[in-house]
Amino acid sequence: MLVPVAVAAVCCAALTAGGRSATTRKWLTFFFDGVPAECPATNAIIAVPSSAENSPASGPVQTSATPPPFYYGHPPFVDQKCTACHEAGLGQGMRKKTPALCFDCHKDFLSAAKVKHQPVEAGDCKSCHDPHQSDQNKKLLLKTGKALCFDCHDDFFEKAKSKHQPAENGDCLACHNPHATDRKKLVNKATPALCWDCHDNFIEKAKFKHDVVEDCNTCHNPHATGESKLLTKIISKLCFDCHEEKDIKAVKGHANAEIKSCVDCHDPHVGTDKNLLKPGKNPAASK
Ligand code: HEC
Ligand code: HEC
Ligand code: HEC
Ligand code: HEC
Ligand code: HEC
Ligand code: HEC
Ligand code: HEC
Ligand code: HEC
Ligand code: HEC
């Protein structure tokens, strides 16, 4: 059975967290014999009446200001199987180190994976999850969306001109696994398959393709950039990463043309002729 010191400590932590104590408290009273009416100043053992919650004063009075009730308790915590994780007896020592501790019950998603998220590999589960409970987020998460990630990563939206909608919306998990995968950068799928989850596959049926079109990330950043259309560079420079200026100048079709904005005439991805010319930009076809 549980040591009262630990119970008092954890209840108190829960009761004070985030100002949502009412819901949490109700939950705690459900599975603990006695939850103190208020947090004591110390973690000293506290004596509490066992049926305080049954008093008529605690009726179902709800105001509209009350946040929507959400509670998820980690089953071993709710079931008071504290010693599934903690050493028996006084103190908060752990039975094992994380992640081994967690993999006593959860499928080991780490050892077989080729790419592991550093904090996960280090067993720092609690940088993202509360091991006990959450009265705010699903999956025991401490934060959701990009806020969770930007706790450790630089916010790449701050100075950006174009922002990729799913990333800006904090849907990082549309493309990344938070723990581990077999692919570099923890992506759920390789590019371009990843992109076709949301964009129409414009390569599939194309007659001619730009040689490098499948490497979307050489021209686009998946999150945000200082250029339009998530481009890694301004177009006038981007194309010259791979094409030689002298070659381009020598092309017949470029004579007398302002060739800085290549995409005025060329589609950067695919085309109906080998020069990837946009409709109406092919002098040969209009003859
Ligand atoms: C699924 C595993 C797990 C279970 C079950 C569990 N704990 Fe914990 N607990 C942890 C982890 C992990 C920490 C964080 C340890 C650290 O900071 O290194 C922790 C920390 C604590 C702390 C320190 C204060 C805090 O909240 O960080 C207390 C007190 C505590 N647990 C009490 C309990 C009690 C009481 C129970 C049973 C009702 C319980 N725990 C059940 C994993 C668990
Ligand atoms: C960088 C943050 C982060 C770290 C560190 C982390 N997780 Fe997670 N974990 C998440 C997110 C985000 C989800 C929600 C995934 C989803 O909703 O698809 C999640 C989900 C889970 C789930 C639920 C899986 C499911 O499919 O429902 C388990 C179990 C889990 N994590 C265990 C762990 C363990 C064990 C560790 C430590 C070894 C850990 N996590 C470390 C972010 C993290
Ligand atoms: C004693 C068994 C046990 C241990 C140890 C354990 N868990 Fe769990 N955990 C469960 C059970 C049971 C569930 C609920 C069933 C499920 O979703 O898999 C769960 C669910 C979860 C969820 C998903 C919650 C959701 O909303 O679906 C996360 C995240 C999680 N555990 C993280 C951890 C982490 C991190 C550790 C290690 C610190 C850990 N668990 C250790 C038994 C355990
Ligand atoms: C507790 C700190 C922490 C949190 C929270 C965190 N990360 Fe990381 N992440 C790291 C560290 C450390 C690295 C490795 C060093 C680096 O590349 O910056 C890393 C690396 C990565 C990488 C590159 C992996 C590789 O193979 O190069 C991706 C992708 C990533 N994180 C995505 C995420 C996403 C998505 C989230 C939110 C769900 C997130 N991170 C939350 C600490 C964190
Ligand atoms: C549309 C898909 C997509 C979304 C949404 C997305 N990412 Fe990425 N992310 C990628 C791809 C693809 C890469 C690899 C880029 C590369 O290899 O050049 C990556 C790389 C990363 C890296 C590693 C960067 C580096 O240079 O090593 C981090 C960190 C990262 N993402 C975090 C996040 C975070 C945080 C979010 C949510 C705010 C997010 N990502 C949303 C697709 C996405
Ligand atoms: C989770 C869904 C999703 C995924 C996955 C996704 N995108 Fe997007 N993307 C969008 C949405 C939504 C928009 C904004 C609406 C639109 O323009 O279609 C967008 C817009 C864009 C834009 C135009 C941005 C602008 O400023 O006009 C580019 C470029 C782009 N995505 C490239 C990619 C690439 C490259 C990948 C694969 C690495 C990818 N997307 C994966 C949802 C996604
Ligand atoms: C050689 C560089 C290059 C590669 C590789 C590339 N793109 Fe683009 N992409 C561009 C340029 C340049 C534009 C802007 C075109 C314009 O403004 O007319 C663009 C625009 C887009 C747009 C926005 C279209 C619109 O009308 O707003 C999407 C979506 C997109 N690319 C997705 C992808 C995907 C997905 C891949 C990989 C399959 C990819 N791109 C590969 C250069 C590239
Ligand atoms: C990452 C390298 C790379 C970038 C960036 C790039 N290209 Fe290409 N491009 C190639 C390669 C490789 C070919 C194949 C033909 C070759 O060897 O020149 C090609 C072929 C072409 C072709 C068709 C010619 C042929 O012989 O098939 C056109 C047109 C073209 N590129 C235009 C552009 C434009 C416009 C841009 C800028 C939006 C651009 N390219 C950016 C690598 C690139
Ligand atoms: C005014 C329209 C126009 C603009 C702007 C333009 N092109 Fe072209 N480009 C053409 C035409 C037309 C052809 C076909 C030429 C031919 O068949 O002789 C061509 C052919 C090409 C080829 C294939 C050359 C070969 O050797 O077969 C490449 C590569 C190319 N352009 C790249 C570029 C780049 C990079 C830019 C921007 C710096 C650019 N183009 C700007 C019209 C244009």
Mean pLDDT of 220-235: 96
CA of 226 to the centre of ligand 3 (A): 41
Q: Take atom 39 of ligand 2 and give the residue whose Cα is closest.
A: 125
- State the distance from the centre of ligand 2 to the C-alpha of 47, rounded, in angstroms: 37
Under the banding of pLDDT at 50, 70 and 90, the label for residue 208 is: very high
What is the whole-number distance in angstroms between the Cα of residue 185 and the centre of ligand 7? 21
Q: What is the pLDDT of residues 136-172, one digit of tens each?
A: 999 999 999 999 999 999 999 988 999 999 999 999 9
Determine, yes or no, domain membership for 279: no
Is residue 260 situated within a structural domain? no
Q: Tell me the pLDDT of the chain averaged across its residues.
A: 80
Contact of 212 with 218, CB cutoff 8 Å: yes
Tell me if 28 is assigned to some domain. yes
Q: Is residue 188 part of a domain?
A: no
Whether residue 201 lies inside any domain: the answer is no
Of residues 164 and 68, the one with the higher pLDDT is 164
Average pLDDT over residues 30-59: 34
Protein residue whose Cα sits closest to atom 24 of ligand 4? 185
pTM of the model: 0.90
Q: Are strands 162-163 and 224-225 parallel, antiparallel or unpaired?
A: antiparallel
243, pLDDT greater than 60: yes
| Number of domains forming the structure of the chain | 1
Inform me whether the pLDDT recorded for 1 exceeds 50: no
In a domain, 73, yes or no: yes
For residues 225 and 232, give the distance between their C-alpha atoms in angstroms, rounded to a whole number: 6
pLDDT at 55 over 50: no
Q: Which one is predicted more confidently, 65 or 235?
A: 235
32 in any annotated domain: yes
The one-letter code for the residue type at 274 is K
pLDDT at 49: 31
Structural domain harbouring 138: 4-53+68-142
Any idea how long the chain is? 287
Quick one: which ligand is closest to 27's CA?
1
Residue 200 counted as domain residue: no
CB under 8 Å, gap of 24 or more: what pairs does 4-7 form? 4/45, 4/46, 5/43, 5/45, 5/90, 6/82, 6/86, 6/90, 6/92, 7/32
